[in-house]
Amino acid sequence: MTMREAKINLMGLSLAKMQAFFLELGEKPFRASQTLKWIHQRGVIDIDTMTDISKPLREKMKSVAEIRLPHITQELRSADGSCKWIVQVESGSSVEMVFIPEAGRGTLCISSQAGCSLDCSFCATGKQGFNSNLTVAEIIGQLWWANQKLAGFGVKPAQEWSEDGKPAQNPRPVSNVVMMGMGEPLLNFENVMDALSLMMEDQAYGLSKRRVTISTSGVVPAIDRLKDFTDASLAVSLHAPNDELRSELVPINRKYPIKELLRSVSGYMDTLSDRRVPVIEYTLIAGVNDHRQHARELAVLLKDFPCKINLIPFNPFALSDYRRPSSSSISNFRQILHEAGYTVTVRTTRADDIGAACGQLVGEVGDNTRRSQRYRDAAEAQRENDQQGGVEHNSETAAGVTGKRFSSADNLAVVIEKPSRPSV
């Protein structure tokens, strides 16, 4: 290694890559397990304090490697106990991660990209355009930081949370991870796979495959490859019962339509050794996809596709005219699916007072695609039109943020409803 080359970041090495690292140093592979335990179970990032590794080896390690984490620049606490952290990554962008405590479990929602190239119409992240893929260290670093912030190092691994919802005494606070933060995880395939392997690795976080979920908008070729890399759980962002509507809401559907997507997901689920089913995510948007007929169509579409359905009432944000459906629409939609024999849950809205509810994550993305500028220009034009027509704007509407950089630091990009609507 020349002086100019960056040192290897041990934070981002899976067990296999850590073993290769030590072999390269002329050391035994068991050093990899030792090092993973220091970093991911004890939260140690100073090589000098890894006391079961000899001093000469520590010096050797330090000459070629280091342990680098992304930076936490802000922490926001919700009234409901959830927590959002703003995480600055090496590209200069910031992403967001959210911890949601519930009875019997603690879920961490992790980002995989700064921004997103896919532009789903109901998603704040998509409006920001795309900046970069996160590295393995930046993805697993979010889990590391959550454990650090929530006093999770040095306590029992997450699998000791019992399945009946009663935690073992003093378990780790993060029992579940969902790759549902900013970005499409399967468009950052290799890095996400390495990060998942660390989440599920006994020498690292030891999370159960049932408690680690990849959420995808439907990148079919990547789903087809998944079985060779992981056996994590899968959630599919469907959001519509037919191709015409889905192509409007989830543009990647034009490339990989519903039939192909369901075929690919079934193929992956068939390779798993247990009887898990995928979760179908369906964001309910008032007047767009929340009609009873949509529910009936969805019930028919999925009739030969074992799954659970998770309904997510739309969470408002600036630059979106969509609205959340009424409680009765949500309830009707759910009832139709329930009567058709599906297991249906309605996601409780959490942390919307800190802009951390589903679909609201924005971070601060140095957009490479100019998409965010286009959205702001459109909002500005709309605002001018409305002003000419005598329409007043609230400072929290889309036009209210025009010209300012998207930033969660001041929550500009999120429409906070006041008073907050009750959770569904």
Q: Which residues are catalytic?
A: 96, 358
Q: Which residues fall within 8 angstroms of residue 341, CB to CB, at 6 or more apart?
A: none
Residue 413 is a binding residue for ligand SF4 (CB under 6 A): no
* Burial track 22-34 (b if 16+ CB lie within 10 A, e otherwise): beeeebeeebbbb
Residue 109 is a binding residue for ligand SF4 (CB under 6 A): no
Binding range to ligand SF4, per CB under 6 A, among 35-43, 135-143, 180-188, 368-376 = 180-188
Looking at the Cβ atoms of 47 and 120, the one nearer to ligand SF4 is 120
Looking at the Cβ atoms of 148 and 247, the one nearer to ligand SF4 is 247
The residue within the footprint of ligand SF4, chosen from 80, 96, 119, 201 (CB under 6 A), is 119
Looking at the Cβ atoms of 152 and 359, the one nearer to ligand SF4 is 359
Looking at the Cβ atoms of 119 and 138, the one nearer to ligand SF4 is 119
Residue 281 is a binding residue for ligand SF4 (CB under 6 A): no
Binding range to ligand SF4, per CB under 6 A, among 5-13, 24-32, 112-120, 316-324 = 112-120
Looking at the Cβ atoms of 87 and 336, the one nearer to ligand SF4 is 87
Which positions from 189 through 248 interact with ligand SF4, judged by CB under 6 A?
217, 237
Tracing tokens 């193929």 back to the chain, one arrives at 267
Tell me, by CB under 6 A, how many residues bind ligand SF4.
Answer: 12
Binding range to ligand SF4, per CB under 6 A, among 62-70, 117-125, 137-145, 325-333 = 117-125
Binding range to ligand SF4, per CB under 6 A, among 145-153, 182-190, 302-310, 327-335 = 182-190
Binding range to ligand SF4, per CB under 6 A, among 40-48, 120-128, 253-261, 325-333 = 120-128
Residue 39 is a binding residue for ligand SF4 (CB under 6 A): no
How far is it, in rounded angstroms, from Cα 325 to Cα 289? 10
How far is it, in rounded angstroms, from Cα 173 to Cα 167? 10
Looking at the Cβ atoms of 125 and 135, the one nearer to ligand SF4 is 125
Residue 96 is a binding residue for ligand SF4 (CB under 6 A): no
Residue 112 is a binding residue for ligand SF4 (CB under 6 A): no
The residue within the footprint of ligand SF4, chosen from 70, 106, 126, 141 (CB under 6 A), is 126
Closest chain position to ligand SF4 (CB): 126
Binding range to ligand SF4, per CB under 6 A, among 65-73, 90-98, 111-119, 384-392 = 111-119
Question: Closest approach of Cβ 292 to ligand SF4, in Å?
Answer: 25
Question: Closest approach of Cβ 237 to ligand SF4, in Å?
Answer: 6
Residue 120 is a binding residue for ligand SF4 (CB under 6 A): yes
Residue 367 is a binding residue for ligand SF4 (CB under 6 A): no
With helix as H, strand as E and coil as C, how does the chain read?
CCCCCCCEEHHHCCHHHHHHHHHHCCCCCHHHHHHHHHHHHCCCCCHHHCCCCCHHHHHHHHHHEECCCCEEEEEEECCCCCEEEEEECCCCCEEEEEEEEECCEEEEECCCEEECCCCCCCCCHHHHCEEEECCHHHHHHHHHHHHHHCCCCCCECHHHECCCCCECCCECCCCEEEECCCCCHHHHHHHHHHHHHHHHCCCCCCCCHHHEEEEECCCHHHHHHHCCCCCCEEEEECCCCCHHHHHHHCHHHHCCCHHHHHHHHHHHHHHCCCCCCCEEEEEECCCCCCCHHHHHHHHHHCCCCCCEEEEEECCCCCCCCCCCCCHHHHHHHHHHHHHCCCEEEECCCCCHHHCCCCCCCCCECCCCCCHHHHHHHHHHHHHHHHHHCCCCCCCCCHHHHCCCCCCCCCCCCCCCCCCCCCCC
Residue 116 is a binding residue for ligand SF4 (CB under 6 A): yes
Question: Closest approach of Cβ 362 to ligand SF4, in Å?
Answer: 10
Give the binding site for ligand SF4 (CB under 6 A). Answer: 116, 118-120, 123, 125-126, 182-184, 217, 237
